[in-house]
Structure 1
Amino acid sequence: MLERYAAGERDFSRQQLSGINLSGANLRGAKLAISDLSAADLSYADLRGSDLSGANLNRAKLSQANLQGANLKTANFEGAVLRGANLSQTNLSWATLKAANLFEATLAGAILFETKLSMAVLPDGTCLD
């Protein structure tokens, strides 16, 4: 996948990428809509302006990832670790962040319309019921 990205390909929609290690990868502007990234390691990845709408990111590791301006609409982040991630200017409408860890994440300007945050750890360390 990284070789294809380096060659200029950006559309990786509807891909089965469960458990993939993309830690530190540059995937800026990639289209990963409706892809299965469950249990993937995207820690420190550059996903600015990417499209992850409808993606399955259950139990994914996104610590310190840069998702600024990404489309995360309807994505499922259940049990994901987003500790210290940059989620500013993202669209998280109708996304599921149930039991996600958002400690020290940046959410400035994020759209959180109908976002499900039950049992999540918020950026300030508050745990929701």
Structure 2
Amino acid sequence: MAHAHASPPGMAGANLARQGLSGKDFRGHDLRGANLAGADLCGADLSLADLSGANLVNADLQNANLSGAILSGASLNGADLRHACLAEARLAGAVLEDALLSHADLSGANLRGADLHHADLHAACLDRAWLDGASGLPPYTTDKTCHD
């Protein structure tokens, strides 16, 4: 008997570096440890995806949906996450050095122990975000309210 809902394909450890994946649907996919360095993921749906330990260095994630995604221990150095939705995302221990997060929605995100040195968080929504132990937070992150 066929199941009504098939699981998303497992892509753990996949090498998708520098691939054009703009607008693709990776909702709920297993991308643990995947290499997505320099990939174009503009507007992609990565909601509820498991990207723990993934390499997203210099990835373009503008306007991407990463709500509820697991990004624990992921490398997002230099990633462009402007206007991305990371609501309720799990970013504990993630490295976001030099990441562009302006106007990103990080409401309810877990950023415990994340490295945010030199990250641009201008006008990012940090309402209800967990920032305990996060390093490199700019002084303006004390205002956690959301701005339009």
- TM normalised by structure 1 equals 0.89
Judged with a 3 Å threshold, the aligned counterparts in structure 2 of structure 1 residues 47 and 9 are, in CA distance, closer, same or farther, namely closer
Higher RCO structure, 1 or 2 (CA under 8 Å, sep 6+)? 1
Judged with a 3 Å threshold, the aligned counterparts in structure 2 of structure 1 residues 7 and 62 are, in CA distance, closer, same or farther, namely closer
Q: Do 1:44 and 1:62's aligned partners in 2 also have CA atoms closer than 8 Å?
A: yes
User: Which structure 2 residues correspond to residues 29-40 of structure 1 after superposition, within 5 A?
Assistant: 29-40=43-54
User: Which structure 2 residues correspond to residues 22-61 of structure 1 after superposition, within 5 A?
Assistant: 22-61=36-75
Deviations 1:91-126 (A, max 9, x none): 00000000000000000110000100001003449x
Cα RMSD (Å): 1.8
- Among 41, 47, 64, the residue aligned to 2:78: 64
Secondary structure at the aligned position of 1:37 is classed as: coil
Match of 1:93 in 2: 107
Q: Does 1:118 align with 2:132?
A: yes
Q: Distance in 1 between matches of 2:123 and 2:22?
A: 30
The unaligned stretches of length 5 or more in structure 1 are: none
User: Which structure 2 residues correspond to residues 69-88 of structure 1 after superposition, within 5 A?
Assistant: 69-88=83-102
Match of 1:102 in 2: 116
Q: Do 1:19 and 1:37's aligned partners in 2 also have CA atoms closer than 8 Å?
A: yes
- Among 2, 5, 12, the residue aligned to 2:26: 12
- TM normalised by structure 2 equals 0.78
Give the CA deviation at 1:11: 1.1
Q: Do 1:106 and 1:123's aligned partners in 2 also have CA atoms closer than 8 Å?
A: no
Question: How much identity, in percent, do the aligned residues show?
Answer: 43
Deviations 1:17-76 (A, max 9, x none): 000000011111000000000000000000000000000000000000000000000000
Judged with a 3 Å threshold, the aligned counterparts in structure 2 of structure 1 residues 123 and 19 are, in CA distance, closer, same or farther, namely same
How many equivalent residue pairs? 123
